[in-house]
Every structure is written in structure tokens, then in C-alpha cells.
Chain A
Amino acid sequence: MESLGLLAEGLAAAATPENLLYAAIGVFLGTFVGVLPGIGPAMAVALLLPVTFGLEPTQALIMFAGIYYGGMYGGSTTSILLNTPGESSSVMTAIEGNKMAKKGRAAQALATSAIGSFIAGTIGTLLVVFFAPTLAGVAVRMGAPSYFAIMVLAVVLVSAVLGASRMRGFIALFLGLAIGLVGMDLNTAQPRLSFGLPQLADRLDIVVVAVGIFALGEALWVAAHLRRRPLEVIPVGRPWMGRDDWRRSWGPWARGTALGFPFGAVPAGGAETPTFLSYVLERRLATGPAAEEFGQGAIEGVAGPEAANNASAAGTFVPLLALGLPVTATASIMLAALQSYGIQPGPQLMGEHGDLVWTLLASLLIGNALLLLLNLPLAPVWAQLLRVPRPQLYAGILFFAALGAYTVNQDPFDLGLLLAFGLLGFAMRRFGLPVLPLVLGVILGPLMETKFREALQISDGSLWGLVDEPVAVVVYVVIGLALLAPTLLRRIGRGTPAAEVVEHEQVGR
């Protein structure tokens, strides 16, 4: 109950006009980038990082959290009206959502997704309020070996379990780890991989890496595939739901929330798995006319996954705030933002910067409510965004990308780096390498190294030092199981659900 009191204090702090303004800007921008496929919250946060250096950390984080939640909402609008998921987390929404829209029930599909997202986001945020302090309390007592093991778990799961191919996942991860090595060794101050360049010895700025991969890489990719047959957008009025829609939606909302939150909270991250599971679950549970409607636009198939993706977005704040461990691309950029304010994320965060954490959580609740207000009446307006021609849109993005990369150090060298990472981002899209493992590698790599060396110092260089804590041993067992499970499952029975998830993810790209 202590948490609730702190949350109330946070609400009071978040409700200042200035903070509310940043929350509003955040959710607005988030919905904007969410609606447009290819541009996601991770790119938006990376582009805005340099702009926010002048702000208080709290305000910047409020805005970023708004962008994160907003991206989840916006993605569903595109899924439903265009059958093209705006974000990978709304791939499942497109299946039933677009069918509903084609049957003239677009308004109901948008309403159930917006209201479901609101409910799931609110419950999810409240769960964060209860879980994050508890987890942080446990985590404070964890030593370097356990910490290192958990980070290994996060990068391995993200690289191997999510995504189409383990090989590609690990290639991306090791690219990221290598990029994370460039510059001064954090322990001994020796320059590594710097090729004698003082700018590289200074370590790469995460803004330059992230903006290059996300913004420049995507812009080059789009430029290479500029002209495509335009899609048909389904016109829609103001979203609303009838009594029957409410009756059919609340169950999927609750089940989607229950599925999404844990998946967001464990370091296997991402909204793809829980949205998929929620869709399958609703399909299994459907009885009577609803069961027949599945495949032709069942409202349950929209309500469940939409609740799941917002609950998992909320869930990712548990490891981020309690352990300093990001599990999605957006969360990793937010972690980098914290670091750039000189705040060390980790179990100490709750104690040392308690006010920041509670204000952030409170503003998530506020942002969620703002999103509902913004999305229900404005859905037709958001759909208009899809008519913006790509050259104009990406010219704007490139402008902000270059501006952001340059302002970090006011050094033209960074523009060259930006271009280099942009080309890397383009190549990754071309060869189907997932971006998330790379970004996670860049950001977690240095942290992992620090913990790794700390553990070895304690054990005097003996590798047994890495497994002398029970938590660490358990985590390594989990990693082993996660790596072996798919192979074993494939031996036992063919056609695991994972294969279908992968197919859908491919569609999302």
C-alpha cells in the first residue's frame, strides 16, 4: 500500500501544466509515428533524444513514455483501416480488424482497440507500480554474476527466440556488441577499435547509432522501394461500440492484459508473442456465432491482441525501472536517455530517483487517458496521415536525423558516422537482420562487460565466479532450455505455433 501513496504523490507531481503538456506532446507524436508503417516509437524517441537534453529528465521521460504508448495505439489504426500493420505489435490486429472494417464495422474495431488498450495500459501500469519496487528490492541484493546472467538471458532470448532466424538474430547481436566496444575501455581507459581517431576513442554516441539505424536506414530502404501501388483505405467515422460489442469485448480485454503483462515483464520482451497467443486463445474460446465469425472479422480477435500489446508495453517498464534492463527497442533508447542524464538505471533507481520513477508511472496513467480522448474522436484524422507522400515525410525525418546527430557533439565527423550506420541499417533491412538485437547489444554490451569483469575480479579471474550465485545458475539453465526447446519441440511434433508467429512477423516487416 506504500506504493499507492507514492503513486498519489507522483500523480500530484505529474499533474503540473508543464508535465501534462509533455505527456500530451508525447502521446500525440507517438500516435503519429505509430500510424505510419516503418516509423516507430523507437525511431521517434531516438530522433527526439538530442532535443530533450535541455529538459528535466522527468519531463523527457514523460514524453518518451507517451510516445511508447501512443505508438501502440497508432499501429492498430493502420492495421484495421489499411490491413498493413503500423507496428509489429499490431500484426495480429490486422487479421480480424481489417475484415471487420471491410464489413463496415471499422468504427467498432477502432473503438474496441482503443478502449481495450486503455484498460490494459491502465491495469498494466498499476501492476508495474506493485511489481517494480518488489523486484528492485530483490535485485539490490543481486551480485555481479547474477546481473551478468540476466543480461545474457535478455540478449539471448531477444536474438534467438524472437524473429525469423536465430542465425540472423545472433549476427545482429554480435554486430551490436562490437559497436558497443568501440572507444575507451570503461575499466582501464584504453582505447579499443578506435583506429587512432580521437572521435571514436570518445565512444560512440548512442543517438548517432540509433538514429542512423532507425531513421537513416529506414529512409534509405524506403527510397529504394519508393513507388508502390497505393492501398485502399477504408473510410471511417467516429469510433463507437454497441451493447453487444461491449459484451463480447470485456473478456478478451481481460485475458489479453493477463497474457501481455508477463511477456512484457520477463526479459524475453516484445509484444509479438503475447498478441499472437491472445489471438489464438480467443479463437479457441470463441463459441457459437463468434466462432464462425473468426476469419471474417470477429471483434474478439481485435480486442484481445490490442489489450495484450498495451499490457506488454506496460510490462516492459518492470525490468527497465527495477533492473535497468530494456527488452524492446524503444525501452533501450529510453535507457540510453536515462544514462545521458547521468542517471544510472538499475535497482538503485527506485531509491535514488524515486520521485522521477513515481512521476513517470503516474504520467503513464495520465498519458493513457489522454490517448483514449485523442484516439476516439480523432481516428478519421489519423487515417489522413497515410496520404502524406513518402519523399516529403522522409525528407523531414532526415533533416531531424542529421540535426540530432550533429548537435550531440557539434562535430561533422558524427554526420559521417550517421551515414555509416544508416548504410548498416539499410543493409540489415536488405538482408533481413532484426534491428532489436543490435540496439540491445550496443546498449547492454558495455553494461554486461562491466558486470562480467566485476564478477571475475571478485573471483580473482576464475570463471567459476560467474556461477557462484544461485540466481545466476538458474538463469543459465533457463537460457539453455530456451535455446534447446525449439529444437526439441521440432523433433517431437511439427508445426509449432512459433512458426506461424514468424510468418506473421515477416508480413509486418
Chain B
Amino acid sequence: MSAVVVAWTPDRFGTAAVTYGVAEARLRDARLVVVNGSRGDALVDEEYAGADALADLDRELEGVEHEIRQVVAADVAEAVVDVAAEVDGVLVVVGVRHRTTVGKLLMGSVAQRLVLEAPLPVVCVKPPR
């Protein structure tokens, strides 16, 4: 069974991505694989979901065939692509946000790297204004 892969963060951007991912999975009759990652090079990373946020997401996804994974890797985008290859992914969904040039220099941009590197189609979604 093919899968829709969602690169998720525990914030409104991640929620938007998951919402779209669920709809897309239903349309394609695929399962949903949610990936949450961090570079793991800071003590605290707010984009890395804690136990509570993971449990909340799991509850929200009830009724959809799904799987949630967490990865710690130097390049989170690459890790998402690897997961997609492993689970027979047909599509990657990622939430995008505004980043300044300096912000990108310092923190990098997982979404940008996904769009450029992933061998499968990438859908970028934005939370409603």
C-alpha cells in the first residue's frame, strides 16, 4: 500500500500539512506516514514533538491508517526522503513558513531542501490566515 508522507512539526504549519495529508491519503486510498525530525544539535528544539504533542496527534488521526516516526539526523529533509523511499511514498506534504535570508542561513530550511532534493512530488501548504 502506498503512503502519503507528511513532514510535521508541532505547530500550525504542521497541522496544516497533516490536514492536507489526511485528505490526500483518503483520495488516493493510501496510508499516512507522519515524520517529525530534529538535527539534534541544540538542547531544546521546539520543532521536535514531545510526548504530549505526539499523543495529541495520534488521537487526531484516529480513523486514518497512520504511522508516526521521529528522526534525529544531520539533514532532516534527507531523513524524510529516506522514510518516503522506505514506506513506498507517493507524495510528501510539508508546511511552509516565512524565513528571512539570515534565518535560513542560521537554521536552514527543511522545506526548501525537500522541494529541491526529493525525487517524488512535494506539496507545500500554508496554514489559513
Interface residues of A (CB under 8 A from B): 36-37, 82, 84, 226-233, 383, 386-392
Report 9 cross-chain contacts, Cβ distance below 8 Å, ordered by A residue.
Answer: A82-B44, A229-B72, A232-B50, A233-B43, A386-B43, A387-B43, A390-B41, A390-B42, A391-B41
The residue that A227 contacts in the complex, of B50, B72, B106, B107, with Cβ under 8 A, is B72
- Which B36-52 residues have C-beta < 8 A from chain A? 38-46, 48, 50-51
Q: How far is the CB of A236 from chain B (nearest CB, A)?
A: 13
What 0/1 readout, one digit per residue, does chain B (20-48) give for beta carbons within 8 Å of chain A? 00000000000000000011111111101
Task: Say yes or no for B74: interface residue by CB 8 A criterion.
Answer: yes
Interface centre among B45, B72, B107 (most CB of A within 10 A): B45
**How many angstroms between the C-alpha atoms of A82 and B44 in the bound complex?**
9
**How many angstroms between the C-alpha atoms of A163 and B74 in the bound complex?**
35
What 0/1 readout, one digit per residue, does chain B (71-82) give for beta carbons within 8 Å of chain A? 011100000000
The residue that A392 contacts in the complex, of B40, B43, B50, B106, with Cβ under 8 A, is B106
B48 touches A230 (CB 8 A): yes
**How many angstroms between the C-alpha atoms of A229 and B72 in the bound complex?**
7
Interface centre among B42, B51, B72, B74 (most CB of A within 10 A): B42
Complex contacts, B50 vs chain A, CB 8 Å:
232
Known: A227-B72, A229-B72. Contact between A387 and B41, CB under 8 A? no
**How many angstroms between the C-alpha atoms of A390 and B74 in the bound complex?**
12
Complex contacts, A390 vs chain B, CB 8 Å:
41-42
Known: A229-B40, A392-B106. Contact between A387 and B46, CB under 8 A? yes
B40 touches A387 (CB 8 A): no
Q: How far is the CB of B104 from chain A (nearest CB, A)?
A: 14
Q: How far is the CB of A218 from chain B (nearest CB, A)?
A: 14
Complex contacts, B45 vs chain A, CB 8 Å:
230, 387
Complex contacts, A36 vs chain B, CB 8 Å:
43
- Which B70-129 residues have C-beta < 8 A from chain A? 72-74, 106-107
**How many angstroms between the C-alpha atoms of A439 and B96 in the bound complex?**
50
Complex contacts, B43 vs chain A, CB 8 Å:
36-37, 82, 84, 230-231, 233, 386-387
The residue that B44 contacts in the complex, of A226, A387, A391, A392, with Cβ under 8 A, is A387
Q: Which 6 A-B residue pairs are closest in the complex by CB-CB distance?
A: A230-B45, A227-B40, A232-B50, A386-B44, A230-B48, A233-B44
A227 touches B42 (CB 8 A): no
Instruction: Report whether over half of chain A's contact residues are helix, strand or loop; otherwise say mixed.
Output: loop
B41 touches A389 (CB 8 A): yes
Interface residues of B (CB under 8 A from A): 38-46, 48, 50-51, 72-74, 106-107
Known: A387-B45, A387-B46. Contact between A230 and B40, CB under 8 A? yes
**How many angstroms between the C-alpha atoms of A226 and B39 in the bound complex?**
9
**How many angstroms between the C-alpha atoms of A462 and B39 in the bound complex?**
64
B41 touches A226 (CB 8 A): yes
Q: How far is the CB of A232 from chain B (nearest CB, A)?
A: 4
Q: How far is the CB of A194 from chain B (nearest CB, A)?
A: 41
A230 touches B42 (CB 8 A): yes
Report the nearest A residue to B40, measured CB to CB: A227
Complex contacts, B51 vs chain A, CB 8 Å:
232
Known contacts A229-B72, A386-B43, A387-B42; 16 further A-B pairs (Cβ under 8 A): A82-B43, A226-B40, A227-B39, A227-B41, A228-B72, A230-B40, A230-B42, A230-B43, A230-B44, A230-B48, A230-B72, A232-B44, A233-B44, A388-B42, A389-B107, A391-B41
Q: How far is the CB of B12 from chain A (nearest CB, A)?
A: 17
Complex contacts, A386 vs chain B, CB 8 Å:
42-44
Q: How far is the CB of B48 from chain A (nearest CB, A)?
A: 4
Q: How far is the CB of A387 from chain B (nearest CB, A)?
A: 5
Complex contacts, A228 vs chain B, CB 8 Å:
40, 72
Q: How far is the CB of B9 from chain A (nearest CB, A)?
A: 12
Q: How far is the CB of B43 from chain A (nearest CB, A)?
A: 4
Complex contacts, B72 vs chain A, CB 8 Å:
227-230
Report the nearest A residue to B108, measured CB to CB: A389
Complex contacts, B44 vs chain A, CB 8 Å:
82, 230-233, 383, 386-387
Report the nearest A residue to B50, measured CB to CB: A232
Complex contacts, A82 vs chain B, CB 8 Å:
43-44
Complex contacts, B73 vs chain A, CB 8 Å:
227
Q: How far is the CB of A436 from chain B (nearest CB, A)?
A: 24
A389 touches B42 (CB 8 A): yes
Report the nearest B residue to A81, measured CB to CB: B44
**How many angstroms between the C-alpha atoms of A233 and B42 in the bound complex?**
12
**How many angstroms between the C-alpha atoms of A383 and B43 in the bound complex?**
11
Report the nearest B residue to A35, measured CB to CB: B43
Q: How far is the CB of A225 from chain B (nearest CB, A)?
A: 10
Complex contacts, A227 vs chain B, CB 8 Å:
39-41, 72-74
Report the nearest A residue to B46, measured CB to CB: A387
Complex contacts, A229 vs chain B, CB 8 Å:
38, 40, 48, 72
**How many angstroms between the C-alpha atoms of A285 and B40 in the bound complex?**
41
Q: How far is the CB of A77 from chain B (nearest CB, A)?
A: 12
Report the nearest B residue to A84, measured CB to CB: B43
Complex contacts, A84 vs chain B, CB 8 Å:
43
**How many angstroms between the C-alpha atoms of A15 and B41 in the bound complex?**
42
Complex contacts, B39 vs chain A, CB 8 Å:
227, 389
**How many angstroms between the C-alpha atoms of A259 and B42 in the bound complex?**
36
Complex contacts, A383 vs chain B, CB 8 Å:
44
Complex contacts, B38 vs chain A, CB 8 Å:
229-230
Interface centre among A226, A229, A389, A392 (most CB of B within 10 A): A389
**How many angstroms between the C-alpha atoms of A233 and B48 in the bound complex?**
11
Q: How far is the CB of A106 from chain B (nearest CB, A)?
A: 14
**How many angstroms between the C-alpha atoms of A8 and B44 in the bound complex?**
44
